[in-house]
Structure 1
Amino acid sequence: MSALALLTARLFGRKIGTDEMGNVYYESRRVVPTYNRTRRFAVYAKGVDSSSVPAEWHAWLHHMTAGPIPRPNYPWLKPHQVNLTGTPLAYRPKGHDYAGGLRRPTGGDYEAWTPGS
């Protein structure tokens, strides 16, 4: 996080909490007259990447809840993961050029459309 963003957050906001990724969440000390509510913002731990905000904090940031939602502890629940689009770890289905490029053959029931036929 930049030093200016951290300084501004500490001067004009009060710290609400942090998440497991290291993002720190703040709320402004004053009510913004235009919206008649406080401003909520995050200082990201690893660059500006809004996809690193987990769902429980996303609801709080957008004024959907008064506080962060407690994370349920289900055995099937996976930890939050940032958006991996554009990285080597992005999902690529079978047949994608970067995953080998071999698509399965069609079943023979497909006939291409041609204009005028």
Structure 2
Amino acid sequence: MADATPPGIAAAIAVAVLLAGVAWSFLMLGRVALTGGRNHTVGFRLPSVMRSDAAWRAGHRAAARPLLVGAWAVTVLALLSLAASPATVPYVVVVVATVGALLVQVLWATVAAHRGARRVSPGSARG
């Protein structure tokens, strides 16, 4: 089997920008959901978060830190992928790790939103 050729720098930059952009978009959507109020379009629409306006705010506040940490982690890994782009195997490993970090960002923020919303007592605000 022939050796795989590494990606060109333009392709590596495009992948890095795409992955980092998705991570930062998640953070921005989380902030929009927090400031915009409870809705059925943007934000964590878990039953625990949708329970009341107070639960919505608490859930999205709790998800803010995981979204921010995840966005920075994905950005660092995306930049590292550029350094690894001259060699195929290291590049693929770093890109897979970056996608994994993106998934961890979303899962961690979802769990945090659920836990934050559950800390709000059911009668603490209008539902």
Q: TM-score category by the smaller chain? A: under 0.3
Compare the two structures and name the one with the higher helix fraction: 2
- Give the TM-score, by structure 1 length: 0.25
Larger radius of gyration: 1
Query: Larger relative contact order (C-alpha < 8 A, sep ≥ 6)?
Result: 2
**Structure with greater strand percent:** 1
**TM-score, structure 2 as length reference:** 0.24
